[in-house]
Structures are given as structure tokens and as C-alpha cells.
């Protein structure tokens, strides 16, 4: 709901948070409003659309219309957002999202989960994402027997 965003953003700002991540599944009106509220409070905004797990979009048996995903990214770009969450285990989709954003004149920065435990390969995601991206690795590091070794091995693929 668009109305709830203003209070949420205020609480985030008061708590010392400097950026928010939105997955605007509630629709374009809510997405637009929440982004506006965040920008009014000088909060950074990162917008995601496509997730790493199966059965998220309708073509995979999920609830969300496939075309709605790209709209989430493009609507955010229309409001000047340049930071986006993309699924690291879906490099073809990263490339598709990147090209669509670049066609709008956006040089996107991507944040990508979905590696190791979810099957994504950092090298493939890096090629698709371009120069401005961050790999987000959780279980591949914190569940490793040797955390340092796992971190070094994974970062060597950047």
C-alpha cells in the first residue's frame, strides 16, 4: 500500500538506516510512492524484481506475471534508481535486465544473491552483470568448514 511507505521510511531513517531494498510486488503505485518517500528522506534505494528460487514467476508455476518483473526494474529506473537486486543463479536474466536498463540510459549497479547453495556461478553472473555489481554469498561461506578458504576461493572468481 502506498500509504504505509511514509511511516516505514521515517522509522528506517530514525533507526539510522541509510538504504532500503524494495521488491515491489504490491504494484507500480506502491513502488512509486515508496521510492519517492525514500528519496525525500535521502535514503538509498535498491530495487529487486526477479528472485533466485523456482516457481516465482507464472511461467515457472509461480504467482507473478513474467512481464511484471521487468516493469519493476524499469519503473524504478524511471525514478532515477540505479541499484538493483538480480538473481545470481540466472545470468541470462541478469543480461536481459541489464540491457533493458541500459536502453533507458541507466548504468546499473547490481547486487546478486543465488550463488553456491542455489547453484549460481560467480564468473557467469559477473560476465552478465558488467563492471558494477556485488556478489552476495551467504551459506557458501558461513556453512563452510573453512570460512577463510571458502571466502578466498569465491572472491578469486570475481
pTM: 0.93
Name the maximum alpha-carbon separation found in the chain.
47
What residues have CB less than 8 Å from 93, skipping those under 6 apart? Answer: 50, 86, 87
Q: How confident is the model at residue 155 (pLDDT cuts 50, 70, 90)?
A: confident
- What's residue 35's pLDDT? 98
Cα–Cα distance for residue pair 32/41, rounded to 1 Å: 15
Q: How many CA atoms lie within 13 A of 146 on its CB side?
A: 6
Percentage with pLDDT > 70 across the chain: 100
Q: How far apart are CA 149 and CA 129, in angstroms?
A: 25
Looking up cell 536481459 gives 96
Q: What is the pLDDT of residue 129?
A: 97
pLDDT the model gives residue 157 = 83
What is the model's pLDDT at position 39? 98
Higher pLDDT, 110 or 137: 110
**Closest alpha carbon to 138 in 128, 151, 129:** 151
- List pLDDT tens digits, range 17-70: 999 999 999 999 999 999 999 999 999 999 999 999 999 999 999 999 999 999
Q: What's the chain's average pLDDT?
A: 95
Whether pLDDT at 121 is above 90:
yes
Domains of the chain: 2-155 (3.20.20.70)
Out of 10-14, 75-79, 150-154, pick the least confident: 150-154
Amino acid at each position: 500500500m502506498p500509504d504505509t511507505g511514509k511511516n516505514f521510511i521515517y522509522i528506517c531513517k530514525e533507526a539510522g538506516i541509510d538504504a532500503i531494498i524494495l521488491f515491489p510486488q504490491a504494484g507500480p503505485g506502491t513502488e512509486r510512492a515508496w521510492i519517492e518517500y525514500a528519496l525525500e528522506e535521502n535514503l538509498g534505494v535498491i530495487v529487486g524484481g526477479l528472485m533466485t528460487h523456482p516457481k516465482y514467476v507464472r511461467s515457472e508455476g509461480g504467482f507473478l506475471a513474467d512481464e511484471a518483473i521487468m516493469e519493476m526494474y524499469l519503473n524504478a529506473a524511471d525514478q532515477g534508481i540505479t541499484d538493483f537486486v538480480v538473481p545470481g543463479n540466472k545470468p541470462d536474466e541478469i543480461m536481459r535486465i541489464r540491457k533493458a536498463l541500459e536502453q533507458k540510459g541507466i548504468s546499473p549497479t547490481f547486487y546478486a544473491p543465488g550463488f553456491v547453495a542455489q547453484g549460481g556461478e560467480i564468473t557467469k553472473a559477473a560476465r552478465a552483470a558488467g563492471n558494477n555489481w556485488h556478489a552476495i554469498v551467504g551459506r557458501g561461506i558461513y556453512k563452510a568448514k573453512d570460512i577463510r578458504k571458502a571466502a578466498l576461493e569465491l572472491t578469486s572468481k570475481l
